[in-house]
Chain A
Amino acid sequence: MLDVKTKSQDSIAIIEIDGEVDLYSSPALRKALLEMTKAQNKAILVDLARVKYMDSSGVATLVEALQQVSKYEGKLKLANLRDAVKNVFELSRLDKVFDIYESIEDAKKSF
């Protein structure tokens, strides 16, 4: 099961995900992200601190949101990646595609 919570802080939309992001659970994340991109949120931050595992369905969900925000010149950033999730991004060079930060604070400063 995936728990997706959204909140707004300093005009940044923050999504906190808790659980494993895979084929079954990624639609919940997609729904939350699409709500934000439909509203054309300029600054979206995804907090992955509680994500132990993410498969390619999860990564694709984030790629889709990234493609959406780039259409209206918004920004989507990721923070707090655990090693297992970081590996998924590094292995496929997606760390070059996403802006990835060590902490929420670092990410917030960068917007």
Chain B
Amino acid sequence: MAESEQENFLSPSQASEDSSQELDYLRSKVSDLSSLIETSIIINSTLELDALVRLVMEKAQSVMKAEASFVMLLNKEGDGLECTVALGEVGDQVKKIQLKIGEGIAGWVAQHGKPQIVPDVSNDPRFSSKTDNSTGFQTRSILAAPLMVKDKVIGVAEVINPLDGKPFDNDDLDLFSTFCRQVAMAIENTRMHKLKMEQQRLQHELESAKIIQESFMPESLPNLANPQFSIAAKSLPAAMVGGDFYDFIEFDSNTLGVAVGDVTGKGVPAALYMARLVSDFRQHAQRSRLPSVVFESLNRLLVERSRRGMFVTMQYGILNAEDGKFVYSNAGHIPYIRISNKLKIELLSGAKTIPLGIAPELEFEQASVQLKKGDFVVSITDGIIEAKNRAGEEYSLNRTLDMLSKSKGTAEEMVESLIADVQAFSEGTDQHDDLTVLAMQWN
């Protein structure tokens, strides 16, 4: 296509003898420009990095009329160059070559970020014969240019040995540099695209995780026949699904078990871990009314099937409505908060062990506390105290206690007012973690 356009544009018959040299020059410029346009079409249509670099280098090599060419990209550590594409007879062997920054002509160009014409490598002390020695190829002349993105070198491209025997000149250098700018841009675009795809995949995964997670939370609060209990709970998952959960076990009209937990990690693995944990917890909770015994068997199970170091912080307590006794165990979770009706506030810091699912053969304790009529027991997850405002400050445990001590009314009002206060505090920021509050009152 480019060839025929070029013929229409200027034919030899239109030119006088005197200016034929200039015409040749112009014609070659037009051809070069056509190649650049073709290159930009290739770049916009291909996002497979190696294939793309190969296509562009094939074009570059043919326009520069060179015997061989290659592209080397900076390695992850940033201290060396690795060959991405090598064209020419010994291309496959060249692909295995690695150079340190500063080593050889390519290494020099990477280090200084400047293009170079090397008409005769035998006269240039920077030249490294490493590649020639291992491939049997004979390098005579090099044109090398850095691949730059925003003033940073990301790699080097070279064309080697002009086919017409004339050394590379400044025009070649200008043209090749233009090619290299396009190559660099293309590489950067491909990398950005890959990153974006990866982010989209993760986002999709998180959305499915959220659905799994929500399906395992109690759909409603327990319908308590006993007026001595009142209970409320709310969990607001962050966009990136944390793994908070709460659960109720109604043993009988006088005995209520409440659990709150936070599974490590995020996404589908955390959601699946939580789903399985909740069903195991419900099963084990039926076997014993001692929280420490339930934790012991749950811990053993979680350690046995431990994957990727996942674990859960969890607290579980059982309230007896007849006498107001609350028995609890805490595995690495923020302690229960007790609020007495005279607005005395305290942390129930007893019976605290490490989280579940980390170490086998762990002994769990339990503590008990005698509630007074009207007392609240509140459970929160770290999403509450670690919620940040725009200035980057955390909501903190102190603010939580302060807010709880000020709330009056029912368990439901307590839960709602705390969550509303945390949301107001962190307004204008992304919710970073799940927010969960559970409050119960003994009357």
Contact = CB atoms under 8 A, between A and B. Distances in A.
Do the two chains bind? yes
A61 B309 contact: yes
Interface size class of A (residues with CB under 8 A): 20 to 34
Given A60-B309, A61-B309, A97-B354, A92 B332 contact: yes
A107 B354 CA distance: 22
A23 B266 contact: yes
B265 A23 contact: yes
Contacts of A23: 240, 265-267
Nearest to B267: A23
A103 to B, nearest CB: 25
A93 B329 CA distance: 14
A24 B240 CA distance: 11
Interface centre among B266, B352, B353, B358 (most CB of A within 10 A): B358
Contacts of B202: 24
Interface stretch (A8-16, A41-49, A62-70): A62-70
A39 interface: no
Interface string A55-93: 111011111111100000000000000000000000111
A7 interface: no
B262 interface: yes
A55 B243 CA distance: 13
Interface centre among A62, A63, A94, A97 (most CB of B within 10 A): A63
B210 interface: no
A96 interface: yes
Contacts of B265: 23, 56-57, 60
Contacts of B240: 23
A65 B306 CA distance: 12
B382 A67 contact: no
A61 to B, nearest CB: 6
B308 A64 contact: yes
Interface in A14-53: 23-24, 30
Interface of B is mostly: loop
Contacts of A56: 242-243, 262, 264-265
Contacts of B352: 93
A64 B306 CA distance: 8
B355 A92 contact: yes
B358 A97 contact: yes
A94 B309 contact: no
Interface in B309-368: 309-311, 313, 332-334, 352-355, 358-359
Contacts of A96: 354
A64 B334 contact: no
Contact of B310 (A30, A55, A60, A91): A60
Contacts of B353: 93
Contact of B332 (A30, A55, A66, A93): A93
Contact of A93 (B264, B266, B309, B354): B354
A64 B359 CA distance: 11
Interface string B263-286: 011110000000000000000000
Contacts of B354: 92-94, 96-97
Contacts of A59: 264, 309
Interface of B: 202, 240, 242-243, 262, 264-267, 306, 308-311, 313, 332-334, 352-355, 358-359, 382, 433
Given A56-B265, A65-B309, A92-B313, 20 more contacts: A23-B240, A23-B267, A56-B242, A56-B264, A57-B265, A60-B311, A62-B309, A63-B309, A64-B306, A64-B309, A67-B309, A91-B332, A91-B334, A92-B332, A92-B333, A92-B354, A93-B352, A94-B332, A97-B354, A97-B358
The 9 A-B pairs with the shortest beta carbon distances in the complex, nearest first, are A64-B309, A63-B309, A56-B264, A92-B332, A60-B309, A60-B264, A57-B265, A93-B354, A23-B266
